[in-house]
Structure formats: structure tokens, C-alpha cells
Amino acid sequence: MIPATFGASDYLTMRIGLVIEYDGTDLHGSQLQVRDRTVQGEIEGVLPTVFGKPLRLSMASRTDAGVHGTGQVGAFNAETDLEDTEIRDALNHYLPDDVAIVCAGRVGDNFNPRRDAVSREYRYTFKDRPSRSPFNRYRTAHVRHRLDERVMDEAATHFNGEHDFAAFAGPATPSDAITVRRVEHTAVSRDGDEVSFDIRGNAFLHQQVRRMVGALVRVGRKKMDYEQFQALIDRAERGCAKDLAPARGLCLTKVNYPGADGTGLPRAARD
């Protein structure tokens, strides 16, 4: 039986990193909101039960309502002598079924999940068959027409490198925001009737990946050629990439840090 509270005021304050997994279907994104359920809100809601007082969680990436995560990273400060596995198990005991802590561990006192990240990885998954899939309806987007993953894979390479991705910026991107981002890797692959788009970059704008995917689908359905696709990237004008892929197909799979170990947390900053 897990005790209601582990906190004790005479323990040293330590910074604790978390790798977080969540099904975003019924969540209104990752960041805290006043009225709606979010990943941050659910975790902050159980921290007082485990550590004895309210604590603030910072997170690596902002994901929209309906977007999933298997490798989101967060961090908070707490006074505790709990072991890493005890922190993980205690939080999971109180968290709802759609949010879980994959691992927990002590990180450096100055660790900032957002600022210290060197890259983020996402995967978008389609089910391209005539009938929709009830079993995969929460994690894949349905496309009735078969996609050509080979031409999509070739088109996706046009994203690689540093570009002004203003054309793919969503409405929540501030008008004065810098829209230049660096994409390090892209790949489109098929496994049966599922087509996946993987991307790794230093950071992403609001809805950027979903709008990239929307453009790739047009290429995969032969409704846009390579020249038109490249022109869309080069134009770098807000509102040009109008096709927005559904949130349910997108998943934040990993956040990368210098010196991270197999858990995904920066080992070099730990005791």
C-alpha cells in the first residue's frame, strides 16, 4: 500500500526529472490550463499527495489537444529521500490511466527540460485503407486512399536543414516569432496499411509537424508535385500550408539531451 504522503521538510531539495507517456485523446494538451485536463495539470494534481505540498512542473515540449506522448520530459523540485523507482511508482499510483511516468530520476539543479533539449522527435501515423480502424482510431489518422510512401519519403527530405517554416506555422505562433527551425532527420515508412512519418528537429512551431504532414499527404496522393512542395517551403509565408493533419496521429516520441542515458534523462547532471 502506497502511503498518502512521502514529503518531509528536513530533506534536501533535489531536482527530479520525469519521462512521461500519455494518451492525448481526452487531454487538452500538455501545458497547464485553468479548466481543462492537461498532462501538466494531472501530474501537478498528484504531486502534493506524494510530496506534501504543491509543486510546479516544467515540461520540454508543448503538445496540442489530442496529441500523444511517449517521451515527454518534465522536471520539478522536491524535498524527498525517495529512490527513483519509488517516485515513479508513487506518482503512477495516483495518476489517471491516460498519463504515466515511464521513469524518474535526479537531474542537475539547473536542468531545464525545454531550454536544455537539443532536439525533439515526433512520429505521425496513418492508416491508409478503405475502411477506418476502430482499434487504432485514437492513435492513427485514417486516409481512404493509398498513399505513395516512396514519393512522400523523397519529398520529406526537402524539410531537412535550416529553413524558415513560416508557411507551416499555426495560428498560436506569435506574429513576431522567429520561424526559422532546423530539421535534422525525416523518414516515411510503411508497415502493412500503416504509413509513418518520423521527424527530428531542434524545435517546432505551433502545428508545424501536422501542417508538414498535411502537405506530405497531398504529395502522397499525387495532388502536389515536388516543385510545388519545394515552393511551399521556400515561400515562407504564414497561412500557405493550409492542410492540417488530425491531432490523433501525432506522438512526441523523444526529447534529446546531452549526456542522456537510456532513460532519456541527462545522466551527466546526476549524482
Residue 183 half-sphere exposure toward CB, CA atoms < 13 A: 22
Q: 214-244: b or e for each residue (b if 16 or more CB lie within 10 Å)?
A: bbbbbbbbeebeeeebeebbeebeeebbeee
Query: Contact 100/22 with Cβ under 8 angstroms?
Result: yes
Query: Contact 71/121 with Cβ under 8 angstroms?
Result: yes
Amino acid code (one letter) for 168: F
Nearest to 60 by CA among 20, 105, 102, 14: 20
The catalytic residue positions are 64
The CA-atom distances, in angstroms, between 43 and each of 23, 106, 160 are 14, 17, 35
d(CA 101, CA 111): 18
